[in-house]
Amino acid sequence: MTPPPGDIADVRDVIHVTHHLFLLAAEGYHPGGTLPPISNGLAESIEDCAVVHTGVHSGLVTLRVQVSTGPPDAVEAGWEDVVEINLRAGAGRVKVASVLGGGIPDTFPTLTPAGPGNYRVRVHARGRDTDVDGTALEPFEDYLVQIWAAPPQAQTVYRNTDRYGAELRLLAAQVAPQAEPGRRPEPAEDERLNNLRTHSTPPRLGPDR
């Protein structure tokens, strides 16, 4: 796929995801069990790693990546959820990655061609409600990641219309009350919290992805 003017790379391919996630992570990145807390229900980041939440637990999804010299002219139509976040690339080379390693074609470029520094990432998703928690033997969820070098700014939510993102935001909101001293969660609340942990806590990333 030839990138349009202003784009450094524009690649679309199928990737394999696990544990409701795929990553944009620095080469050799290992989070030590720490991932960013859920906020908008689609994508969050910490140093050298952004997490994108998928509806399917595992299987195939379609991903398009656009690496650009500047921000897109407008938010693309036809997507159910669209958010824009910061990504600090301290180590420089950030790539599309999976939680357990493998499943990422070599066609995808380095996402941070300007090297170490600050970037903005706009993540688009559709199809996440099709088979939540399922296994996708054929891709029916689509993602678009647009990235460019830019100073940090406030998170922007352009669109949040799918049910899966709403569920993640609701579940994440239950984490704070659990921390209140002496408070025991109600059974239904405890079940939701366990569901959140199942959806959002993958195994540790190994050094070799």
Q: What is the pLDDT of residues 37-64, one digit of tens each?
A: 889 999 999 999 999 999 999 999 999 9
Which tokens go with 76? 């693309």
Helix (H) or strand (E) holding 190: helix 187-200
pTM: 0.83
Query: Averaging pLDDT over each range in 79-83, 87-91, 112-116, 198-202, which range is the top one?
Result: 79-83
- How many C-beta atoms surround the C-beta of residue 116 within 10 A? 14
CA dihedral 31, 21, 145, 95 (to 10 degrees): 40
Q: What are phi and psi of 85, to 5 degrees?
A: -135, 170
Strands 142-149 and 58-68: parallel
- Angle of helix 187-200 relative to helix 163-173, nearest 10 degrees? 120
Q: pLDDT class for 174, splitting at 50, 70, 90? A: confident
- Strand, helix or coil at 45? strand
DSSP state of 166: H
Cβ proximity of 147 and 67 under 8 Å = yes
What pLDDT is stored for residue 206 in this prediction? Answer: 46
What pLDDT is stored for residue 204 in this prediction? Answer: 47
Sign of the four-CA dihedral 74, 144, 47, 35: positive
Region 107-116: mean pLDDT is 94
* Percent of the chain surpassing pLDDT 90: 66
